[in-house]
Amino acid sequence: MKKDNNIDFQSINEPEELEIQTSSIRLVAKCWGNPDGLPVLAFHGWLDNAATFDNLAPLLPELRIISLDLPGHGHSDHRPSGSAYYFIDMVMDVIEVADVLGLENFSLLGHSMGAGVATYLAGTLREKIDYVILIEGIGSVVQEPDKMPEDFRESAIQWMNRSKKQLPFYPDIESAVKARHKVGGILESSVRTLVERGLRPVKGGYTWRCDPILKTKSRHYLTEEQAQSFIKEITSPLLLIEAKNTKKDYWYELLQKRIPLVNNLQHRIFPGEHHLHLDNPEPVAMAISEFLKKFSKKM
């Protein structure tokens, strides 16, 4: 990817909104960068939205970053009433997005849940994916087969009681920012970025745009064996960015299992917590640029 001295980097750093109609749902994306640059489909984490890359994308102006509000999140449509959200369906949604946009080859950028979407997409459309950049995750949550009946039972109970749940109400944006910030692991400035896109106005205040069904326990998980099958299929160069302060928990253990399965993998660890790409985007952007320069003859 060659640097064009005629590019107005200031203007292409200004994001634009893009609506994408697939066969079943209208999705909205926030886009940055050179329209002729390397196309990168980007995916946020669970209950976040496309603004998750607000601080990172402007630092990568030569890329065309298309950050999706995944179904039920941000400004994208909710699935039809009575529909559940299956994680693997999001992968199919993104395949359709790439087709609608006419992308023959493209790269992937994903954070947390979005890293899972990117992982399975990269393992499915191997010939179309140039580079994969994952922040805080490879693959998705998995479950042992003998635990699945218990999970389904819990999911069924939550589903049958879904009408009793009420969305939280906030009299102003500041109240929502404070509520989200209490969850921890992210700077208040970063919280504000996500919250402002994630709220919708209602009488007297605000509530969340996201579909409350997203908080219902999933009816179905892949097994670790199935997840690893997708990971082993990835042939594109892959950059994994991990936060130094990530808890040594379930997700950490999954990463350690899965890292050896990927060929052409670079693993970088930076100070920060789960949303390090929002809280401290500069080293993340530098790592991405170095990764792309190493593997791309176009830059």
Catalytic positions, written as ranges: 112
Query: What is the DSSP secondary-structure string of 87-154?
Result: HHHHHHHHHHHHHHTT-SSEEEEEETHHHHHHHHHHHHSGGGEEEEEEES-SS--B--GGGHHHHHHH
Q: Name, in order, each residue with C-beta under 8 angstroms of 210's C-beta and a sequence gap of 6 or more.
A: 47, 49, 72, 73, 74, 198
Cα distance between residue 140 and residue 112, in whole Å: 8
Provide the β-strand partners of residue 38: 63
Which of 215, 195, 214 has the alpha carbon at shortest distance from 206?
Answer: 195
Q: What is the per-residue burial (b if ≥16 Cβ within 10 Å, else e) of 5-26?
A: eeeeeeebeebeebebebeebe
